[in-house]
Structure 1
Amino acid sequence: MKKHYLLLLGTGLALAAHSQTLTPPARPTPPVAAATNADKAKVEALLKKMTLEEKIGQMTQLTLGVVADGKPGVEEATLDPAALQKAVQTYGVGSLLNVVNHAVTVDRWGQVITQIQDAAAKTRLKIPVIFGLDGIHGQTYTLDATLFPQNIGMAATRDSALAHAITKVAAAELRASGVRWNFAPVLDCGRQPLWSRFPETYGEDVFIGKTMGSTVIHAYEEDGLRNPTAVASCMKHFIGYAAARTGKDRTPIYLPEIELREYYLPQFRAAVKAGASTVMINSGEINGTPVHASKYLLTQVLRKELGFEGVVVTDWEDIIRLHTRHNVAPTPRAAVAMAINAGIDMSMVPMDYSFPDLLKEAVQKGEVPMSRIDDAVRRILTLKYKLGLFENAYPEAAARANFGKPEYQDLALQAAHEAMTLLKNQDNVLPLKKDTKVLVAGPGAQSISALNGCWSYTWQGKEEQWYPANSKTILQAITDKVGAGNVITTTVKGYDSDANYDTTALKNAAANAAVIVLCLGENAYAESPGNIQDLVLAPNQVALANAAAATGKPVVLVLSEGRPRFITSFEPKMKGILQAYWSGRKSAEAIADVLFGDYNPDGILPYSYPRSMGEMVLYDRKPTEEIREIFNSDMTMDGYKPLFPFGFGLSYTTFSYSPVTLSSTTLKGNDKLRISVTVTNNGSRDGKHTVELYSRDLYASITPNMQRLRGFQKIDLKAGESRTVTFILDKNDLAFVNADLKTVTEPGDFEVMIGGEKAKFSYSL
Structure 2
Amino acid sequence: MRPEVADLLARMTVEEKVAQLQSVWLNQDEGGVVAPTQDDSDLAAVDFDAAVRHGLGQLTRTFGTLPVDPELGARGLAHSQRRIMAANRFGIPAIAHEECLTGLTVWQATIFPSPLCWGAAFDPDLVARMGAAIGGSMRALGVHQGLAPVLDVTRDLRWGRVEETIGEDPFLVGLIGSAYVRGLESAGVVATLKHFAGYSSSRAGRNFGPVSIGPRELADVLLPPFEMALRAGARSVMNAYTDNDGIPAAADESLLTQRLREVYGFTGTVVADYHAVSFLQTLHGLADTPGKAAGLALRAGIDVELPTVTCYGDALLAALAAGDVDPALVDRAVSRVLEQKWQLGLLDDDYSPEPAGPFDLDPESSRTLALDLARRSIVLLHNRDTLPLPAGARVAVIGPRADDQHAVMGCYSFPVHVGVHHPDVPVGIEVPTVFDALRKDYDVSYALGCPVLGGDDAGIAEAVAVAREADFCVVVLGDRTGMFGTGTSGEGCDVSDLRLPGRQEELLEAVLDTGTPVVLVLLVGRPYEISRQVDRLAAILCGFLPGEEGSTALADVLSGRVDPSGRLPVSFPRAGAGHPSTYLAPILGRRTELSSVDPTPLFPFGHGLSYAPVTWLDADSARDWPTDGECHLSVTLRNDNAVPATEIVQVYLHDPVAEVVRPVQQLIAFSRVTLPPGGTTRVDFTLHADLTCYTGLSGQRQVDPGAVELRIGRSSVDIESTLTLELTGPRRFVGFDRVMQPSHVVTPMA
Same fold (TM over 0.5): yes
Q: Does 1:470 align with 2:430?
A: yes
Q: Does 1:553 align with 2:513?
A: no
Query: How far apart are residue 394 of structure 1 and its match?
Result: 4.8
Moved more, 439-448 or 58-67: 58-67
Q: Which residue of 1 aligns with 2:558?
A: 595
Query: How far apart are residue 535 of structure 1 and its match?
Result: 1.7
Q: Which residue of 2 aligns with 1:242?
A: 200
Matches within 5 A, 1:452-601: 452-458=409-415, 460=417, 463=420, 465-482=425-442, 486-491=443-448, 498=455, 502-526=459-483, 527-601=490-564
Give deviations 1:576-610, integer Å, cap 9, x for gaps: 10001111110110011111111110000001111
Q: Does 1:746 align with 2:704?
A: yes
Identify if the C-alpha distance between structure 1 residues 492 and 567 changes in structure 2 by more than 3 Å, giving closer, same or farther: closer
Query: How far apart are residue 441 of structure 1 and its match?
Result: 0.4
Q: Distance in 2 between matches of 1:291 and 1:695?
A: 31
Segments of 5+ residues of structure 2 without an aligned counterpart are: 33-43, 484-489, 714-718, 730-750
- Alignment-mate amino acid for residue 682 of structure 2: T
Q: Which residue of 2 aligns with 1:220?
A: 184
Query: How far apart are residue 493 of structure 1 and its match?
Result: 11
Q: Which residue of 1 aligns with 2:743?
A: none
Matches within 5 A, 1:76-87: 83-87=47-51
Q: Which residue of 2 aligns with 1:190?
A: 154
- Alignment-mate amino acid for residue 300 of structure 1: Q
Matches within 5 A, 1:215-614: 215-222=179-186, 229-350=187-308, 353-391=310-348, 394=352, 398-400=356-358, 403-426=361-384, 428-458=385-415, 460=417, 463=420, 465-482=425-442, 486-491=443-448, 498=455, 502-526=459-483, 527-612=490-575, 614=577
Give deviations 1:159-182, integer Å, cap 9, x for gaps: 011011111111011112221110
CA contact (8 A) 1:58 1:95 kept: yes
Q: Which residue of 2 aligns with 1:722?
A: 680
CA contact (8 A) 1:445 1:473 kept: yes
Q: Does 1:47 align with 2:9?
A: yes
Give secondary structure in 2 for the equivalent of 1:139: coil
Moved more, 455-464 or 736-745: 455-464
Identify if the C-alpha distance between structure 1 residues 365 and 162 changes in structure 2 by more than 3 Å, giving closer, same or farther: same
Q: Distance in 2 between matches of 1:148 and 1:448?
A: 14
Q: Distance in 1 between matches of 2:67 and 2:680?
A: 48
Give secondary structure in 2 for the equivalent of 1:280: strand
Give deviations 1:160-210, integer Å, cap 9, x for gaps: 110111111110111122211100111111122111111111110010111
- Alignment-mate amino acid for residue 365 of structure 2: E
CA contact (8 A) 2:398 2:449 kept: no
Identify if the C-alpha distance between structure 1 residues 304 and 137 changes in structure 2 by more than 3 Å, giving closer, same or farther: same
- Alignment-mate amino acid for residue 432 of structure 2: K
Query: How far apart are residue 525 of structure 1 and its match?
Result: 2.2
Query: How far apart are residue 81 of structure 1 and its match?
Result: 11
Q: Distance in 1 between matches of 2:154 and 2:301?
A: 26
Give deviations 1:532-581, integer Å, cap 9, x for gaps: 22221124101100011011000000000111122222222211100011
CA contact (8 A) 2:382 2:609 kept: yes
- Alignment-mate amino acid for residue 130 of structure 1: I
CA contact (8 A) 2:478 2:524 kept: yes
Identify if the C-alpha distance between structure 1 residues 459 and 367 changes in structure 2 by more than 3 Å, giving closer, same or farther: farther
Q: Which residue of 2 aligns with 1:60?
A: 22
Give deviations 1:600-623, integer Å, cap 9, x for gaps: 100000011111453443212212
Give deviations 1:421-480, integer Å, cap 9, x for gaps: 000101x11000120000000000111112012111146367375423521011001112
Number of equivalenced pairs: 699
Give deviations 1:346-401, integer Å, cap 9, x for gaps: 11152x55531111111112221111111100110111111112336655554536
CA contact (8 A) 2:571 2:605 kept: yes
- Alignment-mate amino acid for residue 58 of structure 1: Q
Q: Which residue of 1 aligns with 2:37?
A: none
Query: How far apart are residue 500 of structure 1 and its match?
Result: 10
Give secondary structure in 2 for the equivalent of 1:702: coil
CA contact (8 A) 1:656 1:681 kept: yes
Give deviations 1:46-101, integer Å, cap 9, x for gaps: 1112111111111012322269899xxxxxxxxx9982212222x53321212574
Normalised by the length of structure 1, the TM-score is 0.87
Q: Distance in 2 between matches of 1:209 and 1:69?
A: 32
Q: Distance in 2 between matches of 1:532 and 1:519?
A: 20
CA contact (8 A) 1:561 1:582 kept: yes
- Alignment-mate amino acid for residue 667 of structure 2: L
Give secondary structure in 2 for the equivalent of 1:269: helix
- Alignment-mate amino acid for residue 64 of structure 1: L
Segments of 5+ residues of structure 1 without an aligned counterpart are: 1-34, 71-79, 223-228
Give deviations 1:674-733, integer Å, cap 9, x for gaps: 111111223333122211111111211112321110111111112222111111112101
Identify if the C-alpha distance between structure 1 residues 729 and 82 changes in structure 2 by more than 3 Å, giving closer, same or farther: closer
CA contact (8 A) 2:447 2:466 kept: yes
Q: Does 1:171 align with 2:135?
A: yes
Normalised by the length of structure 2, the TM-score is 0.89
Q: Distance in 1 between matches of 2:129 and 2:475?
A: 32
Give deviations 1:460-515, integer Å, cap 9, x for gaps: 36737542352101100111233xxx110013997557379811101211222111
Identify if the C-alpha distance between structure 1 residues 446 and 507 changes in structure 2 by more than 3 Å, giving closer, same or farther: same
Q: Which residue of 2 aligns with 1:690?
A: 648
Matches within 5 A, 1:24-35: none
CA contact (8 A) 2:75 2:354 kept: no
**Sequence identity (%):** 30
Identify if the C-alpha distance between structure 1 residues 111 and 555 changes in structure 2 by more than 3 Å, giving closer, same or farther: same
Identify if the C-alpha distance between structure 1 residues 459 and 544 changes in structure 2 by more than 3 Å, giving closer, same or farther: closer
Give secondary structure in 1 for the equivalent of 2:540: strand
Moved more, 494-503 or 325-334: 494-503
Q: Does 1:646 align with 2:605?
A: yes
- Alignment-mate amino acid for residue 367 of structure 1: D
Q: Distance in 2 between matches of 1:525 and 1:443?
A: 15
Q: Which residue of 2 aligns with 1:23?
A: none
